[in-house]
Copies of this chain bind each other. A is one copy, B any other.
Amino acid sequence: MQSVELILAGFGNVGKAFYELVRFRRMRILDRYGLDLFFRAVIRKKGWICSPDELGKGIQPSTRWDEMTGRECFFPPKKSGVWVECTPSDIHTGEPGRTNILRALDLGWHVVTAAKGPLVADPAALYKKAESRKRKIRISGATAAALPAIDTAIYALAGTEIQRIEGILNGTSNYILTRMHQGLIYEEALREARKKGIAEPDPSMDVDGWDTAVKLLLISNAALKQKLCLKDVFVEGIRGLSREELYRQSKKRKAVKLLGTYLAEKGRILLSVKPEALDGDHPLYGVVGAEKGITFHTDTMSRITVTGGKSDPGGAAAALLKDIINMYKHCIIT
């Protein structure tokens, strides 16, 4: 049995879902993986809280951290710990996640993150710090929630060359396109997606392709050890599409998807996000509604596709938990 301490930073939808998931599942994780996950603290914008049953047993912080941007971290792990970053982060500055993660690594914590901002804004600083401190950063929670994009690339495709990646990585835009193929106009489909809680009040990140671009970037960098930036991605969204255009494609047994594509060709890397008409036999053709999917084209294993996976806060929480388990397990040798 190994005790693993957790500090959860951010207590919004994903943070709460993660907290509940770990508490609910604690005994089963102990039983199955021999890991005793233990919340040392939950940090919110307005201060910190402790879980009533596991904390407060004589463990006291040496300093109170009033703000998430506070200057001192008061929870040095006794043996081994994971910092779980779930704050809403700014994609340009990466804050507050960036500062949190750098500080956590400095203090010897591993990091799993659902926050995309720090990974887009300043990945070099994070990974450099992680390397110098011999700590790990895992980012499944920030890429496509429960759709195992990075796991597939790293574990399932180990030893093969990934030549092309195609992904439907944004549930909102895929839902809208699916409904437009069924006859709705863009505004109707968007309204329906909002009503169902699929689209955010401001859907621009989704429909303009930026959410897809960020995920494509993070997956490509993690899977292929690249150091690409957001400005390397050509991005075009779905606002300009008409129902009539989609109808024409349906007639040809094609489906229009907002596709993120990574392509390595003749030593050049091309990254793009744009609406594309997929043939009926494309493995992502059948990915409809709010579902997501990703296809890897490889040299020695041919084409491998993963689809599905919950994409709500519960899915992101499950992805964070998975990353923590994989950090500690599946380790031999020699």
Interface residues of A (CB under 8 A from B): 2, 21, 25, 28-29, 32-33, 79-80, 110, 136, 146-148, 151-152, 154-161, 225, 281, 283, 285-286, 288, 295, 300-310, 314-315, 317-319, 321-322, 324-334
**Is A308 touching B302 in the complex (CB atoms < 8 A)?**
yes
Whether B331 lies near A315 (C-beta < 8 A) is no
* Set of chain B residues within 8 Å of A334, measured between Cβ atoms: 2, 79-80
The one of B146, B151, B159, B161 that contacts A155, using a Cβ cutoff of 8 Å: B151
5 sampled A-B residue pairs with Cβ under 8 A: A146-B301, A148-B304, A302-B308, A304-B309, A330-B330
Q: Which residues of B have CB within 8 Å of A305?
A: 305-308
Which of B286, B306, B319, B331 is in CB contact (< 8 Å) with A306?
Answer: B306
A324 CA to B333 CA, complexed, in Å: 11
Q: Which of B21, B79, B159 meets A318, CB within 8 Å?
A: B159
The answer to whether A158 and B329 have CB atoms under 8 Å apart is: yes
**Distance (whole angstroms) from the CB of A79 to the closest CB of chain B:** 6
With contacts A148-B155, A156-B151 taken as known, whether A310 is within 8 angstroms of B318 at the C-beta atoms is no
Other than the known A160-B318, A305-B308, what 10 A-B pairs have Cβ atoms closer than 8 Å?
Answer: A2-B334, A33-B159, A110-B333, A146-B300, A148-B152, A151-B155, A159-B322, A159-B325, A283-B308, A301-B310
Query: With A21-B300, A333-B80 in contact, is A326–B158 under 8 Å at CB?
Result: yes
- Contact across chains for B159 and A29 when beta carbons are under 8 A apart: yes
